[in-house]
């Protein structure tokens, strides 16, 4: 069956269920953004020009909202608790519905069992027949539940699973044996999935797929009206829970802010004003999403205090014409030095409260400064008050951008068909580097560039992203492929590692190897200049963009990307 775009959300709203604040929040959001989704569907439909899309059977099992996982989120929806996850799940459900797929939603283990057709009880009665779904979107809690109730059959079907994972999972943490042996084992990771099956809230590491969410979009009339009505000395503080306002160390910069601006907050309170919030702050209490947007339309500045990390609110503020001011973290926060990230399956270094805003948006919409330097802070505030900015939303956070990306993943990502190494192991010694008669891969040196580009050869298996997007680079010692590709204005593409994990790639880069060995090591393929040792990757599960080692220069499969849609290469649609 062909999937047809849907512009009406009513059947989706019926599917979501009732009885919990989290569900009501998600439904309110769906209703509020419905017309925006409808327009986006029409645009993407026109862009794809009648292309055949198969309607997939999709199960969405929201593990963290099940009673069985404790559901600590729902009771806090109206009390300043995290909403970012709910925002994302609401948008994922809407995107899948609008793309026209056949959707089932489960929010309890009982529903999960019903949909999968496994008898109630634990593990002992695994699913014997085929999986009744093409795709299952879930989270880490849902994975645990499926393991408990599907038993060993989970292993057989896991290529159909996508794990919504806010902060991301790096390959070294995902690989069970490797994580156990090398100190990467956490409570969350080690599912031995393909790392691209983890889908994140921001494009953290290209090892995972970037799922994202959406923000409100404005037309030109709304934009100019917002710009006309901006109140230059009005600031809104990012932080809906009183604990985010704990003032140790914050008095200084808050005083400076207060000297120039009227400070507003949206901090949850029950009866009394939270003591953490200074008296001069105009606190509106926690606002419904649309009222927060209205407040942001007037404000000039949205200011972060360092927590929460990497939420949706800064994008909403920037989309409503605010400048987002945030603290730089020096040293960066990570699972190695910060309580919040401890135990998360990633070593990613978080350079500010919102690295996406810092790195992908930047000035004039985003300013990242050292809050301990009062001079720097003071001049940032003055600059913000006198700078005019237009509301801005990166394409990848528009409804059309999200639909385009999710559509591309559904069409092209296949983790069920085993990927053969290329060139095939037994033929590699025969392959020449530049002979056009050669049946093997062919590297061509790009003029004026240190990157090698790939000229796909007729024998190369099809890939997505396609081989035409591949540029091979060597990182510096101690540099990851994430960084090496970024420096060249490209992005690391883990799906293409298998094409550069070979001697031809090493030769193409003119690497001197005395020995070439295949090993299970998350920084391979790589080479040591000093020791003239070269290492290829033995286990494809460990292909890692994030990996780095001071001893090695890495072979990095980089690719181009679309402006405003980093998940997709030019020829990816
Ligand atoms: C992040 O979660 P948060 O929920 O703390 O993220 P925020 O950026 O604060 O915003 C989430 C939504 O809350 C809404 C706002 C955002 O869409 O419109 N909101 C609101 O409705 N009313 C208000 O008064 C204020 C905000 C992140 F998303 C999670 O993944 C992390 O777990 C968490 C901790 O780092 O931070």
Adjacent-strand bridge partners of 455: 442
Average pLDDT over residues 468-483: 94
| Sign (positive or negative) of CA dihedral 475, 480, 481, 485 | negative
Whether residue 434 is predicted with pLDDT greater than 50 in this model: the reply is no
Answer yes or no: is the C-beta of 319 below 6 A from any ligand 1 atom: no
Rounded to 5, what percent of the chain is helix, strand, coil? 35, 15, 45
When pLDDT is cut at 50, 70 and 90, the band that residue 443 belongs to is low
Q: 550, 548, 545: which is closest to 566 by C-alpha?
A: 545
**pLDDT tens readout for residues 493-538:** 999 999 999 998 898 888 999 999 999 999 999 999 999 999 999 9
Q: Say how many Å lie between the CA of residue 402 and the centre of ligand 1.
A: 19
Atom number in ligand 1 closest to CA 88:
28
Centre of ligand 1 from the C-alpha of residue 483, in Å: 28
**Are 486 and 560 within 8 A, CB to CB?**
no
Is the CB–ligand 1 distance for residue 82 below 6 Å?
yes
Atom of ligand 1 nearest to the CA of 312: 8
pLDDT in tens, 145-201: 999 988 878 999 999 999 999 999 999 999 999 999 999 999 887 899 999 999 999
Question: What is the pLDDT confidence band of residue 439, given thresholds at 50, 70 and 90?
Answer: very low
**Helices 289-298, 21-48: crossing angle, 10 deg rounding:** 70
Residue indicated by tokens 């799922």: 211
Instruction: Give the nearest ligand 1 atom to 314 CA.
Output: 8
129 pLDDT band, cuts 50/70/90, is confident
CB 491 within 8 A of CB 565: no
CA-proximal residue: ligand 1, atom 21 (nearest)? 289
Tell me the CA–centroid distance for residue 196 and ligand 1, in Å: 25
Residue 441 · residue 503 · CB < 8 Å: no
Question: Is any ligand 1 atom within 6 A of the Cβ of residue 369?
Answer: no
Give Cβ neighbours of residue 168 (< 8 Å, ≥ 6 apart): 198, 200, 204, 205, 207, 208, 345, 346, 348
**Structure-token match 């990996």, residue found:** 547
Write the ipTM. Answer: 0.95
Question: Which one, of 487, 572, 566, lies nearest residue 200 by Cα?
Answer: 566
User: Cα(192) to centroid of ligand 1, in Å?
Assistant: 30
**49 dihedral zone (left: phi>0; alpha: psi -120 to 50; beta):** left
Between residues 260 and 149, the one the model is more confident about = 260
pLDDT above 90 (res 404): yes
- CA-nearest of 199, 194, 140 to 168 is 199
| pLDDT for the residue numbered 125 | 58
Predicted pLDDT at 449 = 58
Q: How far is the CA of 310 from the centre of ligand 1 (A)?
A: 9
pTM value > 0.90 = yes
Site to substitute for ligand 1 among 72, 84, 204, 288, most atoms within 8 A of C-beta: 84
From 214, 308, 320, the mutation candidate for ligand 1 (largest count of ligand atoms within 8 A of CB) is: 308
Instruction: Compute the distance from residue 241 Cα to the ligand 1 centre, in Å.
Output: 10
**Host H or E run for residue 350:** strand 350-352
Least confident window among 36-40, 244-248, 328-332: 244-248
230 pLDDT exceeds 70?
yes
Answer whether 493 contacts ligand 1 (Cβ < 6 A): no
Which tens digit of pLDDT belongs to each residue from 300-327?
Answer: 999 999 999 999 999 999 999 999 999 9
């Amino acid at each position: 069956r062909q999937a047809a775009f849907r512009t009406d959300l009513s059947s989706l709203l019926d599917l979501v269920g009732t009885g919990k604040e989290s569900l009501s929040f998600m439904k309110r959001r769906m209703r509020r953004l419905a017309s925006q989704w409808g327009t986006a569907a029409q645009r993407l439909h026109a862009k794809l020009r009648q292309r055949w899309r198969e309607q997939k059977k999709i199960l969405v099992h929201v593990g963290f909202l099940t009673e069985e996982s404790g559901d600590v989120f729902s009771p806090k929806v109206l009390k300043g608790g995290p909403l970012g996850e709910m925002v994302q799940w609401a948008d994922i459900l809407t995107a899948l519905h609008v793309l026209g797929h056949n959707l089932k939603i489960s929010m309890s283990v009982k529903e999960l069992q019903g949909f999968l057709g496994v008898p109630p009880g634990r593990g002992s009665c695994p699913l014997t027949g085929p999986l009744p779904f093409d795709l299952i979107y879930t989270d880490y809690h849902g994975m645990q539940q499926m393991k408990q109730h599907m038993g060993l059959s989970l292993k057989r079907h896991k290529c159909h699973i996508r794990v919504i994972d806010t902060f991301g999972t790096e390959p070294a943490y995902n690989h069970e044996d490797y994580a156990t042996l090398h100190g990467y084992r956490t409570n969350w990771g080690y599912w031995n999935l393909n790392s691209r099956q983890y889908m994140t809230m921001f494009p953290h590491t290209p090892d995972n797929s970037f799922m994202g969410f959406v923000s409100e979009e404005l037309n030109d009339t709304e934009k100019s009206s917002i710009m006309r009505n901006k109140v230059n000395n009005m600031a809104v503080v990012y932080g809906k829970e009183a604990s985010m306002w704990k003032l140790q160390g914050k008095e200084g910069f808050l005083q400076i802010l207060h000297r120039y601006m009227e400070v507003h907050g949206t901090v949850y309170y029950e009866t009394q004003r939270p003591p953490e919030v200074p008296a001069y702050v105009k606190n509106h209490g926690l606002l419904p999403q649309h009222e927060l947007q209205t407040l942001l339309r007037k404000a000039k500045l949205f200011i972060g205090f360092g927590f929460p990390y990497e939420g949706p609110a800064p994008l909403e503020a920037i989309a409503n014409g605010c400048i987002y001011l945030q603290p730089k973290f020096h040293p960066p926060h990570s699972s190695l030095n910060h309580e919040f990230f401890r135990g998360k399956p990633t070593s990613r270094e978080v350079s500010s409260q919102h690295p996406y805003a810092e790195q992908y948006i930047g000035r004039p919409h985003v300013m990242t400064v050292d809050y301990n330097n009062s001079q720097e802070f003071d001049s940032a505030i003055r600059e913000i008050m006198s700078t005019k900015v237009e509301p801005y939303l990166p394409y990848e956070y528009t409804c059309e951008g999200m639909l385009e990306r999710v559509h591309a993943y559904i069409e092209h990502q296949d983790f069920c068909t085993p990927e053969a190494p290329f060139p095939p192991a037994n033929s590699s010694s025969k392959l020449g580097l530049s002979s056009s008669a050669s049946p093997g891969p062919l590297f061509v040196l790009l003029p004026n560039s240190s990157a090698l580009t790939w000229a796909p050869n007729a024998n190369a298996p099809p890939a997505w992203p396609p081989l035409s997007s591949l540029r091979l680079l060597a990182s510096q010692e101690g540099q990851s492929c994430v960084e090496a590709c970024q420096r060249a204005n490209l992005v690391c593409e883990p799906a293409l590692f298998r094409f550069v994990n070979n001697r031809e790639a090493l030769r193409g880069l003119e690497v001197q190897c005395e020995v070439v060995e295949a090993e299970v090591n998350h920084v391979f393929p790589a080479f040591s200049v000093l020791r003239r040792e070269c290492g290829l990757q033995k286990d494809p599960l460990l292909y890692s963009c994030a990996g780095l080692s001071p001893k090695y220069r890495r072979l990095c499969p980089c690719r181009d990307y679309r402006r405003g849609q980093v998940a997709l290469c030019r020829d990816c649609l």
